[in-house]
Structure 1
């Protein structure tokens, strides 16, 4: 069954306290190659049957209206995984 994967991230201009905490933890563990971490959400929508243009449009609408908070988050990617 195909799966539609939706990735949601905090808007770039907003602080990401979880990401900042992970960045600090990495530095304390001696991992200093990464200057910043941002933490988002991943949703996997399983589709019965084929992913048509209509199904993909519905997934985009659900991602914008339900899976993300448009005030503080952006839907950054929607992809179909077979």
Structure 2
């Protein structure tokens, strides 16, 4: 089973990388670009077929290491 974890800053948390991307897009001539938020994608391969156990394990990984719950949110996608 594979887990895809999307980690992104919470609303209201300053995102300097997103601001830099937004400025660069505008500088390159891309009109109509509003705010940009930058995040990260983490893929983890799990050796289990139990989706509930996999989700619980990945959630624990996120809470302990992969995301900072004070300033970041995350979402988990599981696939076979």
Query: Structure 1-normalised TM-score?
Result: 0.87
Aligned-pair CA distance for 1:49: 3.7
Pairing 1:58–2:57 present = yes
In the alignment, which residue of structure 1 is the partner of 2:2?
A: 3
CA distance in 2, matches of 1:52, 1:29: 44
In the alignment, which residue of structure 1 is the partner of 2:77?
A: 79
Aligned-pair CA distance for 1:79: 0.5
Aligned-pair CA distance for 1:51: 3.9
CA distance in 2, matches of 1:11, 1:27: 24
CA distance in 2, matches of 1:28, 1:52: 45
Cα deviation per residue 1:40-65 (whole Å; 9 max; x = unaligned)?
11110112241431121111111122
In the alignment, which residue of structure 1 is the partner of 2:18?
A: 19
Kindly report structure 1 stretches of 4+ aligned residues shifted beyond 3 Å. Answer: none
Q: Which ranges in structure 1 are unaligned for 5 or more consecutive residues?
A: none
Query: Structure 2-normalised TM-score?
Result: 0.89
